[in-house]
Amino acid sequence: MTRTPRPADADSPCPARFPVVVVGAGPAGLTLGNILRAASVDCLVLETGTRKFIEQRPRAGFIEEWAVRGLERRGLAGRLLEHAPTHTECEFRVGGARQRFRYTELTGMRHFVYPQPLLVTDLVREYADVRGGAVRFGVRDVTLHDTDTDHPSVSYVCPESGERQVVHCDVVAGCDGARGVTRTVPPPGRTARHDYGIGWLALLAEAPPSSDSVVFGINERGFAAHMARSPQVTRYYLECPPGDDPENWPHDRVWSELRHRLAATGAPPLTEGRLLERRVLDMHNYVVQPMTSGRLFLAGDAAHLTAPIAAKGMNLALHDAFLLGDALVAWLTGGDDHGLRGYSEASLRLVWQYQEFSLWLSDVFHGASSGDPFRAGTTLARLRRLLDSPTAAAAFAELYIGKHTAHGHLTPFSRAGAGR
């Protein structure tokens, strides 16, 4: 394919027809766009944010090794492999004791610590500046038309002119996340949802990590977690009531609560710092099934949300992009629609595995603080089992790092059971 270098911040001129319109320039949309461009399939990415905004929005940080290898195979992991540190174990802190869990010893697979803004920066650069992909930033009021026909289109209001533009296409890829427009196209009855009834205060601290691994603090006052993001920045979470106001969590209260919930004999003190982000996440999951509606194919958070309990969302977004990208290339370049027809089913197999894992892990994390001594007892028993039993440890490690669950490794289920 021809690789045309483009000026760094330019929006692309916009013809009125593309084979694929990708709505949303997050990890799913940009990975998909890159796969299409590598096969010389033209596509247009429409994004409501500015390029600067999407390159700076903090969120995920942990990418599972199978997803990194998937990016690498598509020429998208150069900087990641050069710069990302890897993690091989995590630590549980319960009742003042520390327990390390060495999941790489059990699976041979690692996490790569690479903040989402860095990945998005790499992907947008490769897509727009190197592979010559078309993109429009800052678009408004994106609207889908005729997605139940074989001649869909997408319209949007152009940020410069204020005029509505219409782009015709063969396929719309809905990659615009949990608050986007594309997931509103399938009827609401197709969305399965679970609310945890729990809030997490998500914090980013301008402070070096205080441990060389992820730390999970299981405590009667509430769950807490520590996750490295970079040598200077650490993500922390504190369980809080859903809908809580971040203003209820001033600096001193945050650090005092983190110190208490993450305390353990022999643990180094937390390195404290300025709080760069404080937001309350009401923990919930949903799945739209099937993930397709006519010529609309949903991917990533637009199709399924996984609360960050098990750090799965971005990994699933990448998995979708790999599946959908390969399927669209096969169809648009060779007329083979096998992958597209199986896309939703193939994606949902992994989605439901990770949804179930998130529910399971949520019980472990939040049982002690549930106020229910019975639940506290059973969830502590679960944790003891995974720390004491090699069989339980192996099962947990495989889901935690995604071994055997990634692209192509899951045993096909009956069609009905896989939730097409």
Residue 311 is given by DSSP the state S
**Choices 1-9, 42-50, 243-251, 333-341; region in contact with ligand FAD by CB under 6 A:** 42-50
Percent helix, strand, coil in the chain, to 5, is 40, 25, 35
Determine if 175 is a binding residue for ligand FAD (CB under 6 A).
yes
Determine if 47 is a binding residue for ligand FAD (CB under 6 A).
yes
**Choices 7-15, 36-44, 264-272, 313-321; region in contact with ligand FAD by CB under 6 A:** 313-321
Query: What's the rounded Cα separation, in Å, for the pair 124 and 293?
Result: 27
Residue 278 is given by DSSP the state E
Determine if 325 is a binding residue for ligand FAD (CB under 6 A).
no
In the complex with ligand FAD, which residue's Cβ is closer, 88 or 376? Answer: 88
* Identity of the amino acid at 134: A
Are residues 152 and 295 in contact, defined by beta-carbon separation less than 8 angstroms? yes
- Rounded to the nearest 10°, the torsion over CA 33, 39, 40, 45 is -10
**Alpha helices, DSSP H only, in 307-410?**
313-334, 338-366, 373-388, 390-401
In the complex with ligand FAD, which residue's Cβ is closer, 61 or 70? Answer: 61
Residue 41, CA atoms < 13 Å, CB-side half-sphere: 25
Determine if 304 is a binding residue for ligand FAD (CB under 6 A).
no
Determine if 315 is a binding residue for ligand FAD (CB under 6 A).
yes
Least Å from the CB of residue 95 to ligand FAD: 26
Determine if 313 is a binding residue for ligand FAD (CB under 6 A).
yes
The binder of ligand FAD chosen from 22, 29, 112, 205 (CB under 6 A):
29
In the complex with ligand FAD, which residue's Cβ is closer, 49 or 376? Answer: 49
- Quick one: which of 121, 119, 123, 134 has its CA closest to 31? 123
Determine if 217 is a binding residue for ligand FAD (CB under 6 A).
no
How many CB atoms sit inside 10 A of residue 395's CB?
A: 14
Angle between helices 313-334 and 338-366 (to 10 degrees): 180
Determine if 317 is a binding residue for ligand FAD (CB under 6 A).
yes
Least Å from the CB of residue 200 to ligand FAD: 8
Determine if 43 is a binding residue for ligand FAD (CB under 6 A).
no
Query: What's the rounded Cα separation, in Å, for the pair 349 and 406?
Result: 9
Per CB under 6 A, residues contacting ligand FAD are: 23-29, 46-49, 54, 59-62, 116, 142, 175-177, 179-181, 202, 300-301, 308, 311-315, 317
